[in-house]
Structure 1
Amino acid sequence: MTRIKKDFSLPAVFAGFITFLIGISVSSVLVIQAGQVLGANQAQISSWFWALGLSIGLSGLILSWKFKYPVATSWSTAGLALIIATGSGYNLNEAIGAFLICGIMTAVLGFFGIFQRILEFLPQSLTSAMLAGVLLKFGITLFTVMQDQLIYVLVLISTYFVSKKTLPRHSIVITLLACILLTPLFFEYTATKIHYGMTYPVWIQPEFHWSSILGLAIPLLIINMASQYLPGLAMIRSYGYKPHVNQLVSWTGIAQAIFAPFGAFSTNIAAISAAVSLDEQVHQDPAKRYIAGISCGVFYIFMGIFAATLTGLLLSFPREMITTLAAIALFATIGHNISIAFKEDLDRDAALITFLMSASGVQFLGIGSAFWGLVIGFIIYHLMRIQIKKPI
């Protein structure tokens, strides 16, 4: 506790909050939709948020504290898309069983070091290109909002860059405060009626069938690895940290397995939202940025305990506000990864294909473009290194 007090900073807390906000705001409605597809009632859906908040929050908080670098955790939006698309073929108990199996398999991949060995084969230029491609759409959406809210976006962009020039450590904090102050002036919206009170867990008995294991658990595992763990660990590595891959994968898998019977469909390393907690805007000293990971975990725990209250409040924010704030917060990360991806001449062709494919958003076999971009880029990376003997 003494070191935490010494390393504590307000920008780190705000970065943790923004990481949390980005992580849940866009896909909270999808959690509700996924639960409804599986036949969950209102109490059970509230339990899903309780389980997700505690499993994500506790794992992120403890891992950040233990390893002293930001370990932002989250649920998988791509996993939600899979559940919504295929969930009608299973009942709620079968789905819960699949979530539990997925968590156990994730832990096994971590404990036996399988994922660590996979990651060691991937060049940083390609993982950075993949991250830049995934993040690109978030930067572009800022200018989509600008088309309808020109002054709003211009003022926030100006606020960010002026504060980054004058008070770089507090630029995100200042931008967030400006966003909160400006939003009521530019948008007409009514906050949802907030119901105050704690959320209570509901045990949902898991059922295990080969159809749900093969059709839901294994695809969910692949999607989590491709869309969450791979870019999330690459994100941590791109900022100079050496992630404890085995422990991060295994313990988040265990957290998912423990809370799965209450609705935790995934507990993963965060990918996109994690960037906010890793950047130098959090703190110039990388050794003190772990406070952002701890803070993010605390916010997730509060979300779980007061799921109905906090989720209702966050969902009342205009989507344009969330989109603008997320894009500005990710500016530095997009630039950082582009610079790494295209730094080496020999890597540029492979990095370009990885970047473009990852940014495309297409899916094959239910797996997202980030995974396929990395696969194609990896092939080109090694193809460009083949030495062809010239005829004498």
Structure 2
Amino acid sequence: MKHIEKGVGLRSAPRDFLRDLNGDNLSAGIVAGIFGLSAGIIHISAGTAAGLDSHFIMIWVVSYLLINGLFGLFVPAYYRLPLPMANSIPGALLFAAIIPVVGLEAALGATLVAGAIALVAGLAGVMSLVMKLIPMPIVMGMVAGILLKFGLNMVAPLESALLPAAIMILAFFLSARLLRRMPPLIVAMLAGIAYMAMSGVDLTGVEFSVTLPEFIMPEFTLEAFLAYGLPLALILVGMETPAGVGLVKGMGYKEVPANAITAVGGFATMISAFFNLHSTCIAAPATGICASPEAGAQDKRWVAAVITGAIFMLGAPFYGYVVSLIQAMPGYFMAIIAGLALLRVISSAMQMTFMGKHEVGAMFSFLIAASGLQILGIGASFWALVLGVFVSMIFEARDFEFTLGRPWAKRPSLEKRSG
């Protein structure tokens, strides 16, 4: 346990939560929570495409919200940092695809082993080495590539839904300039809701339902571990933690508990394996929202992550109702809100990507992540890091700290070197 970073503790967390709660972190937490709820639709789509049973798909999503929401309450409260917890979306796609091949129990057995690997990696303190092997510009290149689609999705409705999109975006920027005490995200959400109310949103398809997680006993098979468990472990340790840590550091936090995040995610993933869930890890897009300047003062942004966890837990049993409500709303609404919430995060990620060190590898990482390509069934985020580091090691070996034994030094541009 000596490698696990110490936090502030939980004893005074309730009192500090009430002390630090304000309109900015409340609005950011609500947006991140709603975003996380809407992300469950990805699971539904992936499960449906794989031919999985609809009842299983629903308890899968409910477990995702309940388990990750629970850990999402304690981790940010203990460290007083914006560290919301969720699950791996690339892992979810792999999970849905492997179940018809090896069976549910075997897939969950592989999840259990992957969680154990992540737990051991965190306890052993290997994340400092991982973060050295994957330099921050390359991590932020991957993050910028992932988040780019949220920015593009924010402006895309200007083509198909010009009036409501313009109203929401203008409301955000005008309120940021004129209404200093009113969080811009809340103003944009209210403007969008007001427009939908006036235009008449059809809510007749909204249905109330209650679903709870179900216990299941995993089974281990070598086939499932090699096809799914090992890639999931690599994703949790080599992609999810670096992406989340990179986002938080990119927002100005100097100390981020990478080992603890990995260990807690691994432990929670092991628990998840008994409840039809494939993983628990730091939530990269939600982290971007909770850690962004829109969440208010830096030392109070942890409250937004706790609120996100609470929304997950409260929404979990009623997710069938939440899904029907989200599906009844126009697609542009959440796309615009998420894009506005991540604007400054995207900007910071871009700046850190192209800050002059590992520039070729960072560019490669950014392009791969933005492309959305898949190799061997593994998503672009993972390959952005792997291939970004590979390219940088070939063309920019001197930029790696461990090769020189000293901090990174600013290097001339590729054009100058080639001359």
Regarding TM over 0.5, the answer is yes
C-alpha deviation, 1:30, in angstroms = 2.3
Secondary structure in structure 1 of the residue aligned to 2:294: coil
C-alpha deviation, 1:334, in angstroms = 0.8
Give the aligned partner of residue 370 of structure 2: 359
Give the aligned partner of residue 127 of structure 2: 115
Tell me the alpha carbon deviations over residues 234-268 of structure 1, each in whole angstroms, 9 at most, x when there is no partner. 11121122211111111122122113212121111
Q: 1:156 to 1:239 in 2, by over 3 A?
A: same
Asked if structure 1 preserves the Cα contact closer than 8 Å seen for 2:123 and 2:260, the reply is: yes
Asked if structure 2 preserves the Cα contact closer than 8 Å seen for 1:51 and 1:262, the reply is: yes
Q: Across the two proteins, how many residue pairs are aligned to each other? A: 385
Secondary structure in structure 2 of the residue aligned to 1:281: helix
Give the aligned partner of residue 225 of structure 2: 213
C-alpha deviation, 1:379, in angstroms = 4.1
Give the aligned partner of residue 309 of structure 1: 321
Asked if 1:80 corresponds to 2:92, the answer is yes
Give the aligned partner of residue 65 of structure 1: 77
Give the aligned partner of residue 182 of structure 1: 195
Structure 2 counterparts to residues 322-361 of structure 1, below 5 A: 322-344=334-356, 346-361=357-372
C-alpha deviation, 1:300, in angstroms = 0.9
Secondary structure in structure 1 of the residue aligned to 2:150: helix
C-alpha deviation, 1:136, in angstroms = 0.9
C-alpha deviation, 1:226, in angstroms = 4.7
C-alpha deviation, 1:39, in angstroms = 4.8
C-alpha deviation, 1:183, in angstroms = 2.9
Asked if 1:204 corresponds to 2:216, the answer is yes
Asked if 1:147 corresponds to 2:159, the answer is yes
C-alpha deviation, 1:349, in angstroms = 3.5
Tell me the alpha carbon deviations over residues 332-363 of structure 1, each in whole angstroms, 9 at most, x when there is no partner. 1111111222233x543433232222211112
C-alpha deviation, 1:15, in angstroms = 1.0
Asked if structure 2 preserves the Cα contact closer than 8 Å seen for 1:194 and 1:309, the reply is: yes
Amino acid at match of 2:194: L
C-alpha deviation, 1:77, in angstroms = 1.8
Give the aligned partner of residue 64 of structure 2: 52
Give the aligned partner of residue 24 of structure 2: 11
Q: Distance in 1 between matches of 2:390 and 2:121?
A: 24
Give the aligned partner of residue 117 of structure 2: 105
Q: 1:379 to 1:179 in 2, by over 3 A?
A: same
Q: 1:94 to 1:157 in 2, by over 3 A?
A: same
Of 108-117 and 56-65, more deviation after overlay is shown by 108-117
Q: Distance in 2 between matches of 1:143 and 1:376?
A: 30
Asked if structure 1 preserves the Cα contact closer than 8 Å seen for 2:209 and 2:319, the reply is: no
Asked if structure 2 preserves the Cα contact closer than 8 Å seen for 1:70 and 1:292, the reply is: yes
Asked if structure 2 preserves the Cα contact closer than 8 Å seen for 1:187 and 1:318, the reply is: no
Relative contact order higher in (CA < 8 Å, ≥ 6 apart) = 1
Question: Which among 174, 179, 185 is matched to residue 172 of structure 1?
Answer: 185
Amino acid at match of 2:258: V
Give the aligned partner of residue 147 of structure 2: 135
Question: Which among 262, 265, 268 is matched to residue 275 of structure 2?
Answer: 262
C-alpha deviation, 1:229, in angstroms = 2.3
Amino acid at match of 1:123: P
Secondary structure in structure 1 of the residue aligned to 2:216: coil
Amino acid at match of 2:376: L
Q: Distance in 2 between matches of 1:29 and 1:8?
A: 31
C-alpha deviation, 1:221, in angstroms = 2.2
Asked if structure 1 preserves the Cα contact closer than 8 Å seen for 2:43 and 2:61, the reply is: no
C-alpha deviation, 1:290, in angstroms = 0.4
Asked if 1:377 corresponds to 2:405, the answer is no
Any stretches of 5+ residues in structure 2 without a counterpart?
Answer: 1-13, 399-410
Question: Which among 302, 309, 314 is matched to residue 290 of structure 1?
Answer: 302
Q: 1:187 to 1:82 in 2, by over 3 A?
A: farther
Q: Distance in 1 between matches of 2:365 and 2:86?
A: 24
Amino acid at match of 2:235: I
Tell me the alpha carbon deviations over residues 193-245 of structure 1, each in whole angstroms, 9 at most, x when there is no partner. 32254x33322222221111222222222234455222112111211222111
Q: Distance in 2 between matches of 1:377 and 1:207?
A: 35
Q: Distance in 2 between matches of 1:35 and 1:62?
A: 32
Question: Which among 255, 264, 277 is matched to residue 290 of structure 2?
Answer: 277
Q: 1:180 to 1:226 in 2, by over 3 A?
A: farther
C-alpha deviation, 1:21, in angstroms = 1.9
**How many percent of aligned residue pairs carry the same amino acid?**
25
Amino acid at match of 1:174: V
Of 358-367 and 286-295, more deviation after overlay is shown by 358-367
C-alpha deviation, 1:63, in angstroms = 0.6
Asked if structure 1 preserves the Cα contact closer than 8 Å seen for 2:201 and 2:328, the reply is: no
Give the aligned partner of residue 162 of structure 1: 174
Amino acid at match of 1:274: T
Q: Distance in 2 between matches of 1:185 and 1:228?
A: 41
Amino acid at match of 1:220: L
Q: 1:379 to 1:187 in 2, by over 3 A?
A: farther
C-alpha deviation, 1:139, in angstroms = 0.9
Q: Distance in 2 between matches of 1:64 and 1:124?
A: 22
C-alpha deviation, 1:296, in angstroms = 0.5
C-alpha deviation, 1:40, in angstroms = 4.2
Q: Distance in 1 between matches of 2:354 and 2:106?
A: 45
Any stretches of 5+ residues in structure 1 without a counterpart?
Answer: none
CA RMSD between the two structures: 2.6
